[in-house]
């Protein structure tokens, strides 16, 4: 069964020089035709089946995070169609779905609600979420008092404990200590053994090769290669570096 399907997907962003933007706002109008734009993604076609573990690799600016944001509905494509079936949990960036003035406990409920989970479901998993995150002494403190590592622990713990059909992760293994990273890898592998679907972005080609059987290489917003992870990663490592916008 196909859980994620992208057909001819593109995402266009418009840029302004600060002085131009201020002048247009003062004048009470924005002249779209004069704005500079760029395509973060263009003509992306992907089909991801249930049970697949797919890694997304590419240089900074290649469109990796934009792709994940489109898949989970955080942003809409400028062109093309996206179909996503099943229940998804995502950890897209540090602190996403969290409010700094709410406690860790309150943020668990907030984050889960944003993902479409009800309070009873979250309450049943609350102790496990807190235990995995390893922050019991801070769970009733405001999130603004948390370190980046603590926020990463909490975000990953919420995502993995909500039993999603699709787990979407953006650079989760780049934050936190080695012990936490090992816990993440162990839980991701357990998730995969259950036949669930993983969509994983990382700058670590080694992590993609280890956790995923399939890899998609994005370059300048387009799919350059899609195939077995070992083959795509090897080609990516040997290619000249190219950086997107």
| DSSP secondary structure code for residue 142 in this structure | B
Q: What does the block give as tokens for 121? A: 């479901």
- Indicate yes or no: pTM above 0.85: no
Backbone dihedral region for residue 86 (phi beyond 0: left; psi -120 to 50: alpha; all else: beta): left
SS3 164: coil
Backbone dihedral region for residue 59 (phi beyond 0: left; psi -120 to 50: alpha; all else: beta): beta
State residue 139 phi and psi, 5-degree precision. -65, -25
Residue numbers in the chain where pLDDT is lower than 70: 16-35, 93-96, 173-176, 241-245
- Following CA atoms 159, 42, 14, 88 in sequence, which dihedral angle do they give, to the nearest 10 degrees? -10
Identify the structural domains of the chain with CATH numbers, from first to last: 2-238 (3.40.50.300)
- Counting beta carbons within 10 angstroms of the beta carbon of residue 56, is it exposed (0 to 12), middle (13 to 18) or buried (19 or more)? buried
Instruction: Quote the pLDDT of residue 117.
Output: 80
The sign of the CA dihedral 133, 136, 139, 141 is negative
Q: 207-226, pLDDT tens digit by residue?
A: 899 899 999 999 999 999 99
Q: Let me know: does 164 contact 89? Beta carbons within 8 Å.
A: yes
The sign of the CA dihedral 242, 43, 229, 166 is positive
Instruction: Quote the pLDDT of residue 162.
Output: 84
Q: 144-156, pLDDT tens digit by residue?
A: 999 988 988 898 8
Instruction: Quote the pLDDT of residue 34.
Output: 57
């Amino acid at each position: 069964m196909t859980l994620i399907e992208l057909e001819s997907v593109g995402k266009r962003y418009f840029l302004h020089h600060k002085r131009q933007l201020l002048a247009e706002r003062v004048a009470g109008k924005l002249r779209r035709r004069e704005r500079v734009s760029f395509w973060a993604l263009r003509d992306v076609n992907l089909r991801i089946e249930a049970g697949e573990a797919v890694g997304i690799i590419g240089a900074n600016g290649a469109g990796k995070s934009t792709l994940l944001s489109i898949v989970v509905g955080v942003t809409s494509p400028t062109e093309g169609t996206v179909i996503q079936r099943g229940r998804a949990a995502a950890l897209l960036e540090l602190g996403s779905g969290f409010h700094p003035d709410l406690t860790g406990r309150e943020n668990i409920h907030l984050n889960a609600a944003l993902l479409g989970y009800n309070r009873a479901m979250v309450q049943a998993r609350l102790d496990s979420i807190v235990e995995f995150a390893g922050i019991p002494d801070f769970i009733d403190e405001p999130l603004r008092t948390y370190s980046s590592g603590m926020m990463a622990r909490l975000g990953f713990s919420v995502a993995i404990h909500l039993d999603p059909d699709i787990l979407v992760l953006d650079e989760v293994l780049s934050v936190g200590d080695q012990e936490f990273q090992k816990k993440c890898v162990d839980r991701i592998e357990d998730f995969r053994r259950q036949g669930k679907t993983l969509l994983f972005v990382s700058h670590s080609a080694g992590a993609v090769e280890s956790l995923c059987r399939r890899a998609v290489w994005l370059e300048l917003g387009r799919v350059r290669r899609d195939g077995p992870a070992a083959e795509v990663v090897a080609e990516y490592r040997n290619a000249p570096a190219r950086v997107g916008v």
